């Protein structure tokens, strides 16, 4: 369904998912570790949360829709009991709707035991794989590509000697983005797709427990020391005998980390593939100041991901940086309002400008992206109502012009404002006096060197074959002839 330029519902780039896992040598309260790890990853998914505790092969799980602290009350955490392995997940739906049946981790019972799987990313060949599995008699309980991954691994598990060999064999059949944390009855496994679209790191606690997480901020939350990133294509297995690495799939294709991990997804205090996210965002702001300078009085950022870019713009331009908004921290990014009037009121509840900072001034306003323009328009209106003399919008990413098939919720090019309007037209639509985007040729240098990024949504080439059927709800709409 097409939506009008300025009348659609509020839409912003949505988070990815977050995965977390711990292997402890002895049974302990791993559920609490998962709770704090997922809490640190809450920004990556606010629709649902789940934890599976493995106590020497006995799996105990709780999964539900909602935020981590709502899903896991103290009683529910205690009910999960002690264990030596735990897998956790926070979810934003990139394939499959946001209903209870799709909450992860996925749990599978099969001939050789049980398995719990947490997935961040999006497969590009999930439709074909699921069709093949269903024709062979597989029965699916969810509408996610994560269950497809689980079934493929189980198929390989019945042919392979070990679970880690099964995961490696499954990677020959999977295409697209996937960072996985998997528990078998006795092992914890982490795997990252050969392109490395999504981050995955490994740490170790003082007690020796090995931790895997989507971001280093989750390691910090559980007192784990960062050890290293899981390499693109690598399978890391942890069991009683130690840590084992399979690099069979490494270096077979160019690295294609989603550059939007630095621009928006990851927490600013995380270090992704060796680069601090906060510093990468400041670099984006510095590039904006060089390519889109403007005479102004103050630089402010839209919380949260626009703040570091605003600092970078300020440092490069010499313009003073100020905190221009107060953010209501009790309303998450997924704040939902059913009517247009309530949506507009919701912006005032979530963000409120600090009037003395902007009143009578020429303001440089930094944000991370413009998707359809509605959110930017309302944010600019707030500053204008607070008395800003001029508003110059600067975006720390290039314009979105193409769908993403690797987990970012951009699946319709026709609804992207940059595909229907020039920069000058977009500035007029959102009510800005001027508008400037980060240049596509600059975005790959946010880490200081071009180490391999996916920029397909900004008009770059796709690292994999583009799926013919790639909509988020493709499995809900699937019709068998």
pLDDT tens sequence across 358-415: 999 999 999 999 988 888 999 999 999 999 999 999 999 999 999 999 988 776 788 8
pLDDT tens sequence across 151-163: 999 999 988 889 9
305 and 160, same domain (yes or no): no
225 and 288, same domain (yes or no): no
The Cα–Cα gap between 320 and 299 comes to 6
238 and 318, same domain (yes or no): no
SS3 track for 17-40: CEEEEEEEEEEECHHHHHHHHHHH
Residue 17 among the catalytic residues: yes
Please give the span between the terminal C-alpha atoms of the chain, in angstroms, as a whole number.
25
245 and 306, same domain (yes or no): no
397 and 286, same domain (yes or no): yes
Does residue 279 form part of some domain?
yes
CATH number at residue 124: 3.60.20.10
User: Which tokens belong to 26?
Assistant: 């002895």
169 and 278, same domain (yes or no): no
Of the three residues 256, 279, 301, the one that is the final residue of a domain is 256
Q: Are 398 and 458 in contact (CB under 8 A)?
A: yes
115 and 192, same domain (yes or no): yes
Q: State the total domains in the chain.
A: 2
Angle 110-113-117 from CA coordinates, rounded to 5°:
80
Q: Are 409 and 47 in contact (CB under 8 A)?
A: no
Nearest to 145 by CA among 112, 183, 106, 107: 106
196 and 331, same domain (yes or no): no
Question: Which percentage of the chain shows pLDDT scores above 90?
Answer: 77
Q: Is the pLDDT of residue 88 over 90?
A: yes
282 and 252, same domain (yes or no): no
pLDDT at position 13, please? 55
Average the pLDDT over 43-48 and give the result. Answer: 93
Q: Are 282 and 253 in contact (CB under 8 A)?
A: no
pLDDT at position 347, please? 57
pTM for the predicted model, two decimal places: 0.91
Pairing of strands 235-239, 188-192: antiparallel
Average the pLDDT over 418-425 and give the result. Answer: 95
35 and 156, same domain (yes or no): yes
pLDDT band at 5 (very low <50, low <70, confident <90, very high): very low
The active-site residue, picked from 7, 17, 276, 376, is 17
Tell me the residue range of the domain where 320 lies.
271-451
pLDDT tens sequence across 182-219: 999 999 999 999 999 999 999 999 999 999 999 999 99
Q: Are 58 and 130 in contact (CB under 8 A)?
A: no
pLDDT tens sequence across 442-480: 999 999 988 899 999 999 999 999 987 655 554 555 444
pLDDT at position 349, please? 74
């Amino acid at each position: 369904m097409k939506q009008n330029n300025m009348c659609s519902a509020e839409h912003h780039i949505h988070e990815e998912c977050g995965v977390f896992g711990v292997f402890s040598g002895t049974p302990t309260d791993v559920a609490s570790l998962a709770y704090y790890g997922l809490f640190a990853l809450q920004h990556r998914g606010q629709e649902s949360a789940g934890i599976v505790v493995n106590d020497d092969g006995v799996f105990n799980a709780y999964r539900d829709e909602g935020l981590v602290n709502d899903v896991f009350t103290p009683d529910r955490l205690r009910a999960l009991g002690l264990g030596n392995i735990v897998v956790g997940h926070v979810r934003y739906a990139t394939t499959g709707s946001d209903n209870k049946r799709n909450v992860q981790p996925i749990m599978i019972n099969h001939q050789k035991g049980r398995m719990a799987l947490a997935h961040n990313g999006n497969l590009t060949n999930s439709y074909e794989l699921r069709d093949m599995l269903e024709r062979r008699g597989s029965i699916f309980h969810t509408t996610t590509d994560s269950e497809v991954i689980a079934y493929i691994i189980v198929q390989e598990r019945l042919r392979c000697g070990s679970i880690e060999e099964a995961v490696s064999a499954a990677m020959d059949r999977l295409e697209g983005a996937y960072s996985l944390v998997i528990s078998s009855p006795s092992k914890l496994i982490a795997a990252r797709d050969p392109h490395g679209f999504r981050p995955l790191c490994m740490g170790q606690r003082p007690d020796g427990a090995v931790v895997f997480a989507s971001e280093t901020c989750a390691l910090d939350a559980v007192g784990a020391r960062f050890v290293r990133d899981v390499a693109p294509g690598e399978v890391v297995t942890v069991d009683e005998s130690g840590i084992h690495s399979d690099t069979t799939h490494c270096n077979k294709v160019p690295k294609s980390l989603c550059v939007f991990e630095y621009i928006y997804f990851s927490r600013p205090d995380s270090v992704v593939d060796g680069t601090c996210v906060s510093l990468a965002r400041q670099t984006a702001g510095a590039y904006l100041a060089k390519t889109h300078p403007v005479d102004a009085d103050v630089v402010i950022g839209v919380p949260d991901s626009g703040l570091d870019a605003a600092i970078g713009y300020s440092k490069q331009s010499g313009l003073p940086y100020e905190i221009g908004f107060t953010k209501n921290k009790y309303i998450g990014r997924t704040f939902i309002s059913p009517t247009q009037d309530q949506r507009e009121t919701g912006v005032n509840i979530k963000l409120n400008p600090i009037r003395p900072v902007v009143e009578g001034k020429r303001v440089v306003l930094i944000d991370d992206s413009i998707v359809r323009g509605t959110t930017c328009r309302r944010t600019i209106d707030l500053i204008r109502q607070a008395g800003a003399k001029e508003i110059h919008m600067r975006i720390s990413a290039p314009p979105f012009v193409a769908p993403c098939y690797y987990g970012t919720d951009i699946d319709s090019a026709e609804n992207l404002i940059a595909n229907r309007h020039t920069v000058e037209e977009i500035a007029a639509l959102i009510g800005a006096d001027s508008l400037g985007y980060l240049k596509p040729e600059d975005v790959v240098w946010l880490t200081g060197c071009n180490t391999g990024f996916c920029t397909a949504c900004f008009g770059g080439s796709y690292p994999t074959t583009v799926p013919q059927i790639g909509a988020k709800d493709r499995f809900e709409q699937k019709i068998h002839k």
